Amino acid sequence: KAGVTQTPRYLIKTRGQQVTLSCSPISGHRSVSWYQQTPGQGLQFLFEYFSETQRNKGNFPGRFSGRQFSNSRSEMNVSTLELGDSALYLCASSLVGTSGRYEQYFGPGTRLTVT
């Protein structure tokens, strides 16, 4: 079965712009989580969506937002981009959610560069 897909894979934006990243989970998975990975901060949890509702949120400013559609596909939006937003953005899907007994499947990520 197809894995988690993320589009685009690479993106270059300038400061002040906004960006939308897309994630398609594995078929049947209803939970989608987003993570930011940078060399300095490592992997950080952004938020999780389950059945179109945000269920968990990390410690990121309001410029970072997301949504989930009825087909479980998810989008993440970052407004007013800053240089520090340059990172690998990872999406992960799981069958039910981020509870202990269910593993998450990660996509390849979107590499965002802000200049």
Partner 1 sequence: LAKTTQPISMDSYEGQEVNITCSHNNIATNDYITWYQQFPSQGPRFIIQGYKTKVTNEVASLFIPADRKSSTLSLPRVSLSDTAVYYCLVYTDKLIFGTGTRLQVFP
Residue numbers at the binding site for partner 1 (CB under 8 A): 4, 33, 35, 42-45, 48, 56, 58, 88, 90-92, 98-101, 103-109, 111
Tell me the residue ranges of DSSP E strands in the chain. Answer: 5-7, 10-13, 19-24, 31-38, 42-50, 53-57, 64-68, 74-78, 87-94, 105-106, 110-114
Report which of 65, 90, 63, 88 is spatially closest to residue 76, judged by C-alpha positions: 65
If the CB atoms of residues 16 and 108 are measured against partner 1, the closer one turns out to be: 108
Closer by beta carbon to partner 1, 18 or else 113? 113
Q: Count the Cβ atoms, other than its own, within 10 Å of residue 48.
A: 24
Query: Residue 47 and residue 113: Cα distance in Å, rounded?
Result: 21
C-beta separation of 89 from 21 below 8 A: yes
